[in-house]
Chain A
Amino acid sequence: NAGVTQTPKFQVLKTGQSMTLQCAQDMNHNSMYWYRQDPGMGLRLIYYSASEGTTDKGEVPNGYNVSRLNKREFSLRLESAAPSQTSVYFCASSGEKYSPLHFGNGTRLTVT
């Protein structure tokens, strides 16, 4: 049972480059989330999707876009990467909006 799968695991970008982080879950969950984790700051919500077809901004959405491609997949796009976006990105899913979140193993992104 894979749970939440994120790709890639590591990525290095130059300032101004674009990329898409992929996330897929096989638990038939309705809600999916993108977080970033920076040292000493816990987890900050970037975007979430409460159900297929809907997306909403979280605490730190600037510089990011998302697509809920279908129930399984939720991607995060950086159109023009900046060094401030160097972070570890986690995708998560939950069955219902009040349920605990299940996390993937993260994408470690460095922007130079």
Chain B
Amino acid sequence: GQQLNQSPQSMFIQEGEDVSMNCTSSSIFNTWLWYKQDPGEGPVLLIALYKAGELTSNGRLTAQFGITRKDSFLNISASIPSDVGIYFCAGRGGNYQLIWGAGTKLIIKP
């Protein structure tokens, strides 16, 4: 099935560093969603984007809907230990079904 290309697959960062991850698609999307999944739990919505070029923040998190409608990025500023987890992007096209990225695993270096 169709998947988004989400990168990187994993990131090892120091506490306090900024983090950036992105998703790209060959298809145009009308919606981009960013979720975070903690171990043993379901994904939780972080940010929803509905318009090309839209830039939205949620605390230390900022996400943008790419102007071509084929990509999106998520930035986390000044990372803290509770930021560890798996981050997923999801895009929605004209048939309203969500297409999911494979996830970016964020790990804090000790």
Interface residues of A (CB under 8 A from B): 4, 40-45, 48, 58-60, 90, 92, 97-98, 100-106
By the criterion CB–CB under 8 Å, are A42 and B3 in contact?
yes
Interface residues of B (CB under 8 A from A): 1, 3, 6, 9, 30-31, 33, 40-45, 48, 88, 90, 92, 96-98, 100-103
Identify which of A42, A60, A102, A105 contacts B101 (C-beta below 8 A). A42
| Set of chain B residues within 8 Å of A97, measured between Cβ atoms | 96
Identify which of A42, A44, A104, A105 contacts B88 (C-beta below 8 A). A42
| Set of chain B residues within 8 Å of A59, measured between Cβ atoms | 1
What 4 pairs across the A-B complex have the smallest Cβ distances? A103-B42, A42-B100, A59-B1, A42-B102
B75 to chain A, nearest CB (A): 20
Interface of B is mostly: loop
Identify which of B31, B44, B92 contacts A103 (C-beta below 8 A). B44
By the criterion CB–CB under 8 Å, are B103 and A104 in contact?
no
A24 to chain B, nearest CB (A): 14
B104 to chain A, nearest CB (A): 11
A76 to chain B, nearest CB (A): 15
Identify which of A41, A43, A90, A98 contacts B92 (C-beta below 8 A). A98
B5 to chain A, nearest CB (A): 11
| Set of chain B residues within 8 Å of A43, measured between Cβ atoms | 43, 88, 90, 100
Closest A-chain residue to B46, C-beta based?
A100
